[in-house]
Amino acid sequence: MAKKTSLPLSKVYRLIEPGPVVMVATSSGGRANIMTMSWHMMIDFEPPVLACVISNRGCTFDVLRKTRECTINIPTVELAKKVVACGNTSGRDIDKFKKFGLTPCPAACVHAPLIDECYANLECKVIDTKLATQYNIFIVEVVKAWIDRSRKDPRTIHHHGNGKFVVDGETIKLASKMK
Ligand SMILES: Cc1cc2nc3c(=O)[nH]c(=O)nc-3n(C[C@H](O)[C@H](O)[C@H](O)COP(=O)(O)O)c2cc1C
């Protein structure tokens, strides 16, 4: 075996980061909010279905349970500081759209707003909350998706823990059978 040492179990998540850090927007009682999420997973292609881990300590958990709607907004590196700020604060205390200078736009199929500054936006409906109590997992279906095709090199950010992020960089093409 190569020279390896034991890794604390609390740090395992840093090796399995699932994809770009995203911003989950919700709306309840006329109040829009944003939370930052890095723990998510694609489950199906079409309709697209995702699993989202949303902690019951934040207010997004309760809103999502009640309204069963959200948008998942995909930011690029230019927004990184605002993304982290939305993950370090709670909608219980502040209006994050105002505080961090983000623009809510009406969505087509859900009441939750789209975040205009993000290069892609997914309108989602919660289709299963069976795992929410035990694992904070919400299963959502994407019912409408938007993308800014004028962005030629959207560089998403990926969370490696403890304030460290990797920015999308080099692209390689291989003959993969996965669509
Ligand atoms: C980079 C980053 C990634 C995060 N990923 C998640 C996540 O996947 N799931 C989660 O529940 N919280 C995650 N958080 C923490 C929430 O964004 C944070 O608890 C937030 O304050 C919740 O806001 P709310 O109370 O307005 O819902 C993350 C925070 C940061 C900074």
Does some domain include residue 55? yes
- Domain carrying residue 63: 17-167
CA–CA separation, 32 vs 100, rounded Å?
Answer: 13
**For the segment 14-36, what is each residue's pLDDT rounded down to a tens digit?**
888 778 999 999 999 999 999 99
Rounded mean pLDDT, 115-121:
97
Nearest to 23 by CA among 92, 78, 82, 65: 82
Q: Whose CA is nearest to atom 5 of ligand 1?
A: 37
pTM above 0.85, yes or no: yes
Does some domain include residue 2? no
Query: Percentage of residues in the chain with pLDDT exceeding 70?
Result: 100
Residue 52 has pLDDT above 90, yes or no: yes
- Split into its structural domains, the chain has a count of 1
Task: Name the residue of 35, 61, 98 whose CB sits within 8 Å of the most ligand 1 atoms, as the mutation to test its pocket.
Answer: 35
Does some domain include residue 8? no
Does some domain include residue 54? yes
Residue 88 has pLDDT above 90, yes or no: yes
Does some domain include residue 74? yes
- Give, for 62, the enclosing helix (H) or strand (E): helix 59-67
Does some domain include residue 10? no
Task: Name the residue of 28, 37, 71, 140 whose CB sits within 8 Å of the most ligand 1 atoms, as the mutation to test its pocket.
Answer: 37
Tokens of 141: 């279906």
Ligand 1 atom showing the smallest separation from residue 63 Cα? 27
CATH number of the domain enclosing 136 = 2.30.110.10
